[in-house]
Amino acid sequence: MEAPREEWRSKAGFILAAAGSAIGLGNIWRFPYMTGENGGAAFVLIYIFFVIFIGFTIMLAELTIGRHSQRNAVGAFEAIFPKTNWRFIGVLGIITGIGILSFYGVVAGWTLGYFFKTLLGDFSHLSGEKAAQDIFVGFIRNPVSEIVYLFVFIALTVFIVSGGVSEGIERWTKILMPFLFLLLVLLVIRALTLGSGVSEGLSFYLKPNFSALKPEIFILALGQALFSLSLGMGAMITYGSYISKRENLISSAGYVVFFDTLIALLAGLAIFPALFAMGMTPKGGPGLVFLVLPSIFEKMPFGIVFGACFFLLLSIAALTSTISLLEVAVAYFIDERHWSRVKAAVLTGIVVFVVGVPSALSQGASKWFDRIPLVHMPFLDFMNALFGNYALTIGSFFISIFVGWKWGIAAASKEIELGAEKFSLRPIWAFSVRFFAPLAILIILIYLIVTGRFF
């Protein structure tokens, strides 16, 4: 007899764990710099639109597949339609998870490094943008610390995932997420009271200027929505497989989407007013928050304490996301290959680390990886676009086709209704899974192929 599948201890436990997966660097690092690079408020509006009409749809679809099959991302498709090619959606998800984790681990390493730097007072006498820039560039150029931090971060992830689902993942998230939220609110308050420049920042962030809209923004905003919600690669299928049949999947999906979006919007509200108040440019790229945040903390009473706490919490938020990225592969090896949890976590972790090294060295540490031929960008940025954007978009397309057309709305709704009294959103959800989500994704991808605007 097989042991019963591990389950989340409670509804709050699940929501926190799934929100822990969703909330991470995607909200606080990626969202602000994508917004900054792509025109501000117009990008934000399109992003919110995709969160509501595609993000929520795919979130519910993934959780339903997971809970129905009670399996990992590959096994779930195998359980619903054995011996079909649908399982390759799951295989793509495992590869995507490893791809994302490899560069995500590098940036997560930066946050850990910034925790120590803040604590040691490196930022206590910052004199403008130049000084913040020098510290950041010096830091990411150092090959030894880049690799050590990547290693430490992946090792921490492996350690927690080895501990199992409810013990490891649930316990951490529950305690720490509320603190991150609180600190973010404090940061917003400080940023909004910085004086001149604040209103300029607010209008960049909140007043859309559609005339500057480039067509690529659609794929970038969609990719950002999926990335931020951990969708398109089976993380939510895997987490959904640990939800009890009694839970309401609709409201669970709703809470996760809501909290994730709230945190991203708050992060923007802290960054942009501060950025303009300090006279920096919004097009700072992947370094943006590492340039802006230390400068805000420097202007706060007890800035060192707040700053250090913030970077520590951000590292932990990143950790609860890396856990879910690793868990997709680990759950597969446990369920389908009968590996032990520890073996699965350690071996996958080693692969992730090796794949991550070029990203770690691509920010100035080595000439080999700082400009990849053809795409003309650093290796980290390339992995970010390839896996963080395109792979998730393609994965979400197939997930919506699977649920909408192959498995079917009726079968999926039956699973959803197990824990929900009524599913009044059903017609809207059905329309979105069958038509809106896949067509919108298809149109965007075809446009990119035809115009050759991929990278």
Q: Point out which residues bind ligand PHE (CB under 6 A).
A: 21-22, 24-27, 100, 227-228, 230, 233, 235, 321, 324-325
Tokens 């979130």 belong to 59
- As measured in angstroms, the least distance from the Cβ of 45 to ligand PHE is 19
Residue 377 has phi, psi (to 5 degrees) of -145, 165
The two tokens of residue 253 are 């999906």
Contact 96, 88 (CB under 8 A): no
The two tokens of residue 98 are 């490893």
- As measured in angstroms, the least distance from the Cβ of 230 to ligand PHE is 3
- As measured in angstroms, the least distance from the Cβ of 227 to ligand PHE is 5
Q: Which is nearer to ligand PHE, 240 or 419 (CB)?
A: 240
Q: Which is nearer to ligand PHE, 25 or 280 (CB)?
A: 25
Q: Which is nearer to ligand PHE, 329 or 430 (CB)?
A: 329
- As measured in angstroms, the least distance from the Cβ of 183 to ligand PHE is 17
Distance of CA 234 to the CA centre of its chain: 13
The two tokens of residue 205 are 């962030």
Tokens 């970077």 belong to 311
Q: Which is nearer to ligand PHE, 227 or 397 (CB)?
A: 227
- For the chain, what's the residue count? 455
- One-letter amino acid for residue 116 of the chain: F
- One-letter amino acid for residue 340 of the chain: S
- Beta-ladder partners of 72: none
The widest CA-to-CA distance across the chain, in whole angstroms, is 68
Angle of the 392-401 helix axis to the 87-119 helix axis, nearest 10: 140
Q: Which residue is nearest to ligand PHE (CB)?
A: 26
- As measured in angstroms, the least distance from the Cβ of 325 to ligand PHE is 5
Q: Which is nearer to ligand PHE, 228 or 252 (CB)?
A: 228
For residue 228, count CB atoms less than 10 angstroms from its CB and return exposed for 0-12, middle for 13-18, buried for 19 or more.
buried
- One-letter amino acid for residue 285 of the chain: G
The two tokens of residue 255 are 């809470």
Q: Which is nearer to ligand PHE, 97 or 358 (CB)?
A: 97
- As measured in angstroms, the least distance from the Cβ of 324 to ligand PHE is 5
Q: Which is nearer to ligand PHE, 271 or 280 (CB)?
A: 271
- As measured in angstroms, the least distance from the Cβ of 31 to ligand PHE is 8
